[in-house]
């Protein structure tokens, strides 16, 4: 099967010089930002249906963490996964086409925004039940260990998933079986419209690791390099001893929970969102590179123009792609 096909690992490649890594991360974050803005536009025009959860504000988490991993590592995520798919290298055209429900989408138009898959890149979804995919990540880790591999599986979920049983069962077993999994909690502070502190007895997600004797770290999710470094440490822990790690990456979503929700209002104030926007991970990284003399306005504009061109092309591709053939209705129900 496709997921079992080994891909060339880049483990032996020397780590990129920091500014080069940062430039690469900036480029990816810009791509995600512009892609999501385009998705919002297409949603408003009715070209994307159903639920559509945007990643704007959280770009540093996907980009920083995936930059620290190898091509043969596994990635699994929740329904807010456009950013991770793009950071993993799933072509923007295939992701946008999937959002449009087209046959050329990365899941052939059958998954949509919440179920992006690219088995060849070991990007294993896109899962729509809060917390439901956390045990799947442990299972992928189990398979890695079973085959004596040195890969890791990174699993993204929001802080709201920490209140569900699947999280606790998976973390316990990952620790008992010593599974090479990075549990990456993207704490954006709100489960839909409910502030975490209103529904969680323990508001520091990282504390939960104590219950499972697991390594853990709190990470600034607005700092791509910090996320990169923490992921690198977690990956090393996983590759050496198969030990899992819980990362609590503190971030913020600048948009509503999904396209049908308001940006602010009943559950958070406009002022709060504006205050958080000052921590914009893209602005921060661009500023840092400029300070270091590694980027000027013209170069930043060029990167941004490139990101816009890519998303324009993705939207054009999605628009022009065909719907799935009606015969596709009944394919892929069973494997035979």
Partner 1 sequence: MATLTYRDALNQALREEMQRDPNVFLMGEEVGVYQGAYKVSRGLLEEFGPKRIVDTPIAELGFAGIGVGAAMAGLRPVIEFMTWNFAVLALDQIVNSAAKILYESGGQVPIPIVFRGPNGAALQLAAQHSQAWESWLSHIPGLKVVAPATPADAKGLLKSAIRDDSPVIVLEGEMLYNIKGEVPEGEHIVPIGRAEVKRPGNDVTLICHSKTVTVALKAAEQLAEREGVSAEVLDLRSLRPLDEATIVKSVSRTNRAVVVEEGWPQCGIGAHVVDVIQREAFDQLDAPVLRVTQADVPMPYNKQLERLAKPSPERVVAAARRVLYLD
Contact residues: partner 1, CB under 8 A: 1-4, 74, 76, 105-111, 115, 117-119, 124-129, 132-144, 146-147, 165-166, 169-170, 172-173, 176-177, 331-336
- Answer yes or no: are the C-beta atoms of 181 and 141 closer than 8 Å: yes
Q: How far is the CB of 246 from partner 1 (least distance, A)?
A: 16
Torsional sign, CA 76, 79, 85, 90: positive
Distance between CA atoms of residues 242 and 60, nearest Å: 26
Distance between CA atoms of residues 193 and 173, nearest Å: 31
**In this complex, which beta carbon is closest to partner 1, that of residue 48 or of residue 76?**
76
User: What are the CA-CA distances from residue 54 to residues 136, 253, 325 (Å)?
Assistant: 23, 8, 28
What ranges in the chain are assigned the alpha helix state H?
A: 18-44, 59-67, 82-88, 92-99, 134-146, 165-176, 196-199, 208-211, 224-241, 270-277, 281-291, 297-320
**In this complex, which beta carbon is closest to partner 1, that of residue 134 or of residue 219?**
134
Q: How far is the CB of 326 from partner 1 (least distance, A)?
A: 15
**In this complex, which beta carbon is closest to partner 1, that of residue 298 or of residue 335?**
335
Q: How far is the CB of 278 from partner 1 (least distance, A)?
A: 38
Distance between CA atoms of residues 74 and 123, nearest Å: 6
**In this complex, which beta carbon is closest to partner 1, that of residue 31 or of residue 246?**
246
- Name residue, tokens 């050496």: 240
Q: How far is the CB of 232 from partner 1 (least distance, A)?
A: 22
Q: How far is the CB of 242 from partner 1 (least distance, A)?
A: 13
Q: How far is the CB of 116 from partner 1 (least distance, A)?
A: 9
Residue-level length of the chain? 336
**In this complex, which beta carbon is closest to partner 1, that of residue 27 or of residue 115?**
115
Pair of tokens at residue 207: 């504390």
**In this complex, which beta carbon is closest to partner 1, that of residue 146 or of residue 260?**
146
R_g over Cα of the chain: 19
Distance between CA atoms of residues 267 and 264, nearest Å: 7
């Amino acid at each position: 099967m496709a997921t079992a096909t080994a891909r060339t690992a880049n483990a032996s490649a020397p780590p990129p010089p920091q500014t080069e890594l940062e430039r690469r991360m900036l480029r990816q974050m810009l791509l995600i930002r512009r892609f999501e803005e385009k998705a919002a536009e297409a949603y408003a025009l009715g070209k994307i249906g159903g639920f559509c959860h945007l990643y704007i504000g959280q770009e540093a988490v996907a980009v920083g963490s995936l930059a620290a991993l190898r091509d043969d590592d596994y990635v699994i995520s929740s329904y807010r996964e456009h950013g991770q798919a793009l950071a993993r290298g799933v072509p923007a055209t295939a992701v946008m086409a999937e959002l449009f429900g087209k046959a050329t989408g990365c899941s052939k138009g059958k998954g949509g925004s919440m179920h992006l898959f690219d088995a060849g890149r070991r990007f294993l979804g896109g899962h729509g039940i809060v917390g439901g995919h956390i045990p799947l990540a442990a299972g992928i880790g189990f398979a890695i260990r079973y085959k004596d591999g040195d890969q890791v599986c990174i699993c993204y979920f929001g802080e709201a998933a920490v209140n569900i049983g699947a999280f606790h069962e998976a973390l316990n077993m990952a620790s008992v079986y010593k599974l090479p999994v990075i549990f990456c909690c993207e704490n954006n502070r709100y489960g839909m419209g409910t502030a975490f502190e209103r529904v969680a007895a323990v508001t520091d997600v990282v504390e939960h690791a104590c219950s499972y004797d697991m390594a853990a770290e709190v990470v600034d999710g607005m700092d791509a390099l910090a996320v990169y470094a923490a992921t690198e440490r977690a990956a090393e822990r996983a590759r050496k001893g198969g030990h899992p790690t819980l990362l609590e990456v503190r971030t913020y979503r600048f948009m509503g929970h999904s396209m049908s929700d308001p940006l602010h209002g009943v559950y958070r104030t406009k002022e709060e969102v504006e205050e958080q926007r000052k921590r914009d991970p893209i602005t921060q990284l661009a500023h840092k590179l400029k300070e270091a003399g590694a980027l000027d306005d013209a170069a930043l504009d060029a990167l941004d123009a490139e990101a816009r061109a890519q998303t324009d092309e993705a939207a054009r591709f999605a628009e022009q792609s065909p719907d799935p053939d009606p015969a596709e209705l009944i394919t892929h129900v069973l494997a035979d």
